[in-house]
């Protein structure tokens, strides 16, 4: 069987490249009202994903559209639980109404980062998602608290970011730093291939970190995202590795 690599992308966030990105990826994570997205965009993204046989995932966040879900938001346990539940349920129902199925959940922005390091947030997310009677995958960051809490409760998909640099503690370099993004196509490929083939992330400091990734994310708001993924297709194909699609 041909070796494959799994690539996911956050879509339905108001970006310009959704239609061009969808045919190139394995899975999409659709904004479901927290940081972006509405009923119309969710329906459109689900139909587009089904057309191109791309896995459909919910992309819940803190309910903070003003800051695109990138800032920590103080919320009670119950309010956060209800917000996540409402977002995931909304996309689940839309996917089913279009004849599709929700295959996975991936948190967005600050909620993703908080669940990676904060025991309380991780617990709330896992408890909330555990109430769904669904056999979906949960995308989680490497060496994270949420992966510890979710182990045995979900089919975990460990995620690495194709276009982001890492710190030595496996956290992403802050977007406020100049070197947060990996911009050059060849650098993105080398970064991804190091994780895929050698199970190593080269941190921004140069230190080599052990890594295991089931899926790689390319951000849809990266200006060169379409070209980056096409380049990954080309470079991996040269090594006999295809982009996984359902």
Give per-residue pLDDT as tens, 120-165: 999 999 999 999 987 899 999 999 999 999 999 999 999 999 999 9
Residue 173: pLDDT above 60?
A: yes
Higher-confidence residue: 15 or 133? 15
Count CB neighbours of 157 within 10 A.
Answer: 19
What is the per-residue pLDDT for 223?
85
Residue 1 has pLDDT above 60, yes or no: no
Instruction: Band the pLDDT of 222: cuts 50, 70, 90.
Output: confident
- pLDDT above 70 as % of the chain: 99
Identify the CATH number of the domain defined by range 3-243. Answer: 3.20.20.370
Task: Return the pLDDT at 134.
Answer: 79
Task: Look at residue 165 in the predicted model and tell me its pLDDT.
Answer: 96
pLDDT exceeds cutoff 80 at 2:
no
Answer whether 0.75 is exceeded by the pTM. Answer: yes
User: How far, in Å, are 13, 108, 109, 193, 211 from residue 36 at the CA level?
Assistant: 5, 10, 11, 31, 31
pLDDT at 71 over 60: yes
Tokens of 71: 């800032």
Q: Which residues pair with 137 in a beta bridge?
A: 104, 155
Model confidence at 245, pLDDT cuts 50, 70, 90, reads: confident
Distance of alpha carbon 142 from alpha carbon 200, whole angstroms: 12
**Cβ pair 31, 219 in contact under 8 A:** no
Integer Cα distance of 150 and 154 in angstroms = 6
Domain coordinates in residue numbering, the chain: 3-243
Q: Kindly report the average pLDDT of the chain as a whole number.
A: 95
| Averaged pLDDT for residues 206-210 | 96
């Amino acid at each position: 069987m041909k070796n494959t690599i799994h690539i996911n992308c956050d879509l339905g966030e108001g970006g310009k490249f959704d239609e061009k990105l969808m045919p190139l990826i394995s899975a999409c994570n659709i904004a479901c009202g927290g940081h972006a997205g509405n009923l119309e965009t969710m329906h459109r993204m689900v139909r587009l994903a089904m057309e191109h046989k791309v896995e459909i995932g919910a992309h819940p966040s803190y309910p903070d559209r003003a800051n695109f879900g990138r800032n920590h938001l103080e919320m009670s346990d119950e309010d956060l639980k209800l917000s996540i539940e409402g977002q995931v349920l909304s996309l689940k129902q839309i996917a089913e109404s279009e004849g599709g199925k929700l295959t996975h959940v991936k948190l967005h922005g600050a909620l993703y980062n908080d669940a990676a390091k904060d025991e309380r947030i991780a617990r709330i997310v896992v408890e909330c998602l555990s109430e769904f009677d669904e056999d979906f995958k949960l995308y989680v960051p490497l060496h994270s608290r949420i992966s510890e809490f979710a182990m045995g409760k979900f089919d975990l998909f460990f995620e690495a970011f194709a276009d982001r640099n890492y710190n030595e503690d496996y956290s992403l370099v802050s977007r406020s730093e100049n070197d947060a993004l990996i911009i050059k196509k060849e650098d993105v490929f080398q970064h991804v291939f190091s994780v895929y083939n050698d199970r190593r992330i080269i941190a921004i400091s140069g230190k080599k970190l052990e890594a295991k990734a089931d899926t790689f994310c390319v951000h849809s708001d990266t200006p060169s995202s379409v070209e980056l993924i096409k380049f990954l297709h080309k470079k991996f194909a040269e090594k006999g590795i295809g982009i996984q699609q359902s």
